[in-house]
Chain A
Amino acid sequence: TQLLEQSPQFLSIQEGENLTVYCNSSSVFSSLQWYRQEPGEGPVLLVTVVTGGEVKKLKRLTFQFGDARKDSSLHITAAQPGDTGLYLCAKVSGTYKYIFGTGTRLKVLA
């Protein structure tokens, strides 16, 4: 099964720092989603990007879709402990079929 590669795999930072998480594939995405999964919970959809070069903002989170639609990034400004969780990217691969990334586990220390 094809997986999306995410980097870094783990990230531990201090409150207030900025960070970027990456999601890469060898093939083109039709659309890409980002999820956050908090400990003990299921993933929750944050955003869907569909157009190459698209940038979406959700408060302190900025999502970018690469021009060639093979990669995406998530940038968090001034991280807070509430941002702690597992960040997953997923590409839509056919009707109701999703291929998920390997995940980035983020811990923000107060």
Chain B
Amino acid sequence: DVKVTQSSRYLVKRTGEKVFLECVQDMDHENMFWYRQDPGLGLRLIYFSYDVKMKEKGDIPEGYSVSREKKERFSLILESASTNQTSMYLCASIRDGDQETQYFGPGTRLLVL
């Protein structure tokens, strides 16, 4: 079974703090994604990475950065958290050549006060 894990289920941070969200997958997938999920807006892509040290901006990259130093790990960084970044953050991975099957982590619910 593919497993995608996220470092925290819940996080509470203060405005201006630097926040790290970690994601690890154990199936040697080349492609990894960070989404945020908000009610009525579905999932929106923040960044994705198709290889180590490679990244592409998604639809809403502003206020976020990412790091992929190892194939299994993809980190999302909020340089200076703001209240409008309060959301559910979902990580996903997919194997090269498999357009269909994205595997999602359980999500991190972030509250920025």
Contacts and interface: CB of A to CB of B under 8 A. Distances in A.
Contacts of B40: 9, 102-103
Contacts of A96: 31, 33, 48, 50, 94, 99
Interface residues of B, number: 27
A42 B100 CA distance: 16
Interface stretch (A12-20, A43-51, A57-65, A70-78): A43-51
**In the complex, which of the residues B48, B91, B100 has the most CB atoms of chain A within 10 Å of its own CB atom?**
B100
**In the complex, which of the residues A3, A9, A43, A99 has the most CB atoms of chain B within 10 Å of its own CB atom?**
A43
Interface residues of A, number: 25
Interface string B31-57: 101000001111111001010000000
A101 interface: yes
A45 B101 contact: yes
Interface of A: 1, 3-4, 9, 31, 33, 40-45, 48, 88, 90, 92, 95-103
User: What 4 pairs between A and B have smallest CB-CB spacing?
Assistant: A42-B104, A100-B42, A100-B43, A1-B59
Interface of B: 4, 9, 31, 33, 39-45, 48, 50, 59-60, 90-92, 94, 99-102, 104-107
